[in-house]
Chain A
Amino acid sequence: KNQVEQSPQSLIILEGKNCTLQCNYTVSPFSNLRWYKQDTGRGPVSLTIMTFSENTKSNGRYTATLDADTKQSSLHITASQLSDSASYICVVSEGNEKLTFGTGTRLTIIP
C-alpha cells in the first residue's frame, strides 16, 4: 500500500530559527514529490516539486531535498518567520491523476 509518513507531527520553534521537516514514502512507481504549505482553513499551496533525478530544490527560504534511493525527503526552512506557521504536506505522485498525501507537520513559529 502506498504511504507517505511525515515527522514530526508538530513542531514549535522561535522566530528566526531554522527547522527541518521529514517525509518518508513507499509510493511506487515514483514520478515526483511535492511539498505544499497549507495555512489554517485554506487550500494547500505548492512550494516545490522534485522528480526522480533531482535531489534538491529551493524556493526562497524553503529548500527541499530528495533521496530516491532511501525514499526520503526533507524540507528545510531557514530564518523562520511568523508567516511560516502552517501545515506542511508531503505529496508523492505515481505520474497519473492520483497523489498520496502525508498527514502533514504542523509548524508554529513563536516570537
Chain B
Amino acid sequence: SQTIHQWPATLVQPVGSPLSLECTVEGTSNPNLYWYRQAAGRGLQLLFYSVGIGQISSEVPQNLSASRPQDRQFILSSKKLLLSDSGFYLCAWSVLGSYNEQFFGPGTRLTVL
C-alpha cells in the first residue's frame, strides 16, 4: 500500500531564516507530486506540482521553491522566510488515471515569527 510522509510535523522559524520541508512517498512509482498551502479559513492553494524528477511547475509567484531530487521525494524550500509564509503545508501525490485522485500527507504546521 502507498503511504506519504511529511517532515517535520511542526516548525517555528524566525523571519529571514531558511526553510526545508520534505515529503516522501512509498509504494508507488512515477507519482505526480504537489505542494499546497492552507491558510486559516481559506481553501488549499496549489504552490508547486511535479510530474517527474527535476520537473517543477510553479503556480504562484513567491519566495518559495520546490525540488524533486528523486522519484518519490519532493522538497519545499525558502532562502528567507516571510511572516506571510506561515500556514499549514500539505504534500500530495497522484497517479495518472483514477481521476487523478490526490492523496494528502499529514501536513507541516509552519509558524514564522
> Is B34's beta carbon under 8 Å from chain A?
yes
Q: How many residues of A contact B (CB 8 A)?
A: 24
Which residues from chain A contact B94 at a C-beta distance below 8 Å? 97
Which residues from chain B contact A97 at a C-beta distance below 8 Å? 32, 34, 49, 51, 57, 94, 100
What would be 24 A-B contacts, judged by CB atoms less than 8 Å apart?
A: A31-B99, A31-B100, A34-B101, A41-B88, A41-B109, A42-B107, A43-B90, A43-B92, A43-B104, A43-B105, A43-B107, A45-B104, A46-B103, A49-B101, A89-B43, A93-B99, A97-B34, A97-B51, A97-B100, A99-B44, A99-B102, A101-B44, A102-B43, A104-B43
Which residues from chain A contact B82 at a C-beta distance below 8 Å? none
Min CB distance B78 to A, Å, is 21
Which residues from chain A contact B102 at a C-beta distance below 8 Å? 99
> Is A51's beta carbon under 8 Å from chain B?
yes
How many residue-residue contacts, CB under 8 A, span A and B? 52
B99 x A32 contact (CB < 8 A): yes
A-B contact sample (16 more), CB < 8 A, given A31-B100, A44-B44, A93-B100:
A36-B104, A41-B88, A43-B106, A44-B90, A49-B99, A89-B43, A93-B99, A95-B100, A97-B34, A97-B51, A98-B59, A99-B102, A103-B41, A103-B42, A103-B43, A104-B43
- Tell me the interface secondary structure of chain B in the complex: strand
> Is B112's beta carbon under 8 Å from chain A?
no
Min CB distance A89 to B, Å, is 7
**Which 6 A-B residue pairs are closest in the complex by CB-CB distance?**
A43-B104, A101-B43, A101-B44, A103-B43, A32-B99, A44-B104
> Is B46's beta carbon under 8 Å from chain A?
yes
Min CB distance A17 to B, Å, is 25
